[in-house]
Structure 1
């Protein structure tokens, strides 16, 4: 029998806890008694905690009484994970990290692992909206921005919220084979392997402040005139800069090249049309500044892991 424990702390996301626990619980229906998962929860400070949605959870035991040597130990995310600090939990995680078979985080639970100093030198991920913040807070970790989950040795980290289910399914598949994991996925009405990564859920271009700087003026112009032709030279002229200087300043401030920004703006424009209209793909491509459906399809597949048609079926 394998042991699975989930850490509880105030202001966590309930689905980060319930999703993985349901995977292991449903897996038990298909396993012999001796192969089942023994599932428990561990409280970091108090046994009773209130989740971010208001639901109160009571942990099975306190970390002071927990055995520590779990086969799987998972840390959920939520506002409490990235807004608060838990010294006792940090100390406990550092102590048990080498004892557990698999240490994992769901969503922003990676921030708690970071507090405990467990991310340095590791490949990790988190919710797409927090990858940049995680990378800045823990610069010695390698943050993957488009992965559903990332496995690095005995450390496994997942993206946003429901990816905790994907993470748990992958553990079940490793422990008991793909057929058992597939049976669990069918009960939960989820797929064993999603098409694409987290990028398909996140905007490629963050909102641009209406500040009066050359770079932001160019960004806003591109977003408002996405069907026009753009080159580095033209954008540099809009900013009244030389092409070389503009490209250097733009890349430094926006963390992407000017042409990458144009491509991202067009993809986001097309995504909006695909989500909210039944326009033909040719029209979507034209209104989003792509020269052709073929070019739009290529960039969608390259950046999102989905074709425009697949994106429309999934999100409209």
Structure 2
């Protein structure tokens, strides 16, 4: 029997906790009693703890009572994970992970592990919306942005919300084989392995602010005429610069090359049209500036790990 500790704290995201725990609970239906998962919730403080959706959770154990070894220790995310400072939790985690075979986080639970110093030098991921914040707060962590879930030694981390289910299914497959994990996935009506990574959900570009700088003005003009052919030379002309100087300045200020910006903008435009319209692929390719469906398909595969048709099916 394997023991799973799930940390519970105020303002946690309830699905981060309940999703993975349902995977392990359903897995028990397919396992002999001696192989069952034993699920234990550990509260950051005594009494009821209110999740971000208002549901009150009563944990099985307090931090002081949770002193035994465990096979897997998980930390969910939620506003409490990145907005609260919980020194008692950090101290407990630093000791508890030494007694755990594996430990990890769901979504923004990575922030709690980071505060405990458990991400330094490790490959980790979190929800795409919070990766930049995680990188800034924990510069010693090796944050990767496109994984649904990721393992580095004893450490498991996952992307946002339902990615915790994907990670839990991977744990079940590791512990008891792919067949059991597939049976659990069928009960939950989820896929054992999703096509593509988090990039298919996150915009490749942030929304641009108003035309406050020369480069922003160029970007906004490109976005307004995205269906037209653009080259570095044409963008440089809009800025009244040489192509070489423009490319260097753009890369330094924007963190990407002008052509990377152009490709990202076109992919995001196509994604939006695939999500909310029934336009033919040829029309979408034209409106997004790809020129051809073939070119659009090549870039989608390279950046998102799936074709435009596969992407559209996810939103139909």
Following the alignment from structure 2 to structure 1, what is the Cα–Cα distance between the partners of residues 19 and 25?
10
> 1:104-123 maps to which residues of 2 (within 5 A)?
104-123=104-123
Please say if residues 10 and 50 of structure 1, whose CA atoms lie closer than 8 Å, have aligned partners that are also in contact: yes
Q: Which runs of 4+ in 1 moved over 6 A?
A: none
* 2:166 paired with 1:145: no
Deviation digits for residues 44-66 of structure 1 (CA, Å, limit 9, x no counterpart): 13432111111111111111110
Tell me the distance in 2 between the aligned counterparts of 1:59 and 1:161: 20
Provide the secondary structure at the position in 1 that maps to 2:253. helix
The whole-number CA distance in structure 2 between the counterparts of 1:91 and 1:164 is 24
Which residue is equivalent to 1:100? 100
Partners of 1:82 and 1:241 in 2: CA distance: 43
What are the equivalent positions in structure 2 for 1:26-175 lying under 5 Å apart?
26-175=26-175
Cα-Cα RMSD: 1.1
Deviation at 1:108?
A: 0.6
The TM-score with structure 2 as length reference comes to 0.98
CA contact under 8 A between 1:68 and 1:100: conserved in structure 2?
A: no
User: Equivalent residue for 1:265?
Assistant: 265
The C-alpha deviation readout for 1:254-310, integer Å capped at 9, x for no partner, is 222111111011011111111111111111100110011000000001101110000
- The alignment status of 1:280 with 2:280, answered yes or no, reads yes
Output the TM-score relative to the length of structure 1. 0.98
How many residues are paired up? 316
Counterpart contact for 1:47–1:61, Cα < 8 Å: no
Q: Is the 8 A contact 2:20 2:168 kept in 1?
A: yes
Deviation digits for residues 136-191 of structure 1 (CA, Å, limit 9, x no counterpart)? 11111111110000100010000010000001000000110000000000000001
For residues 308 and 185 of structure 2, what CA distance do their matches in structure 1 show?
Answer: 26
The answer to whether the 8 Å contact 2:211/2:220 transfers is no
The answer for unaligned runs of 5 or more in structure 2 is: none
Moved more, 233-242 or 253-262: 233-242
CA 5–47 in structure 1, closer or farther in 2 if over 3 Å, else same: farther
How far did 1:40 drift? 1.1
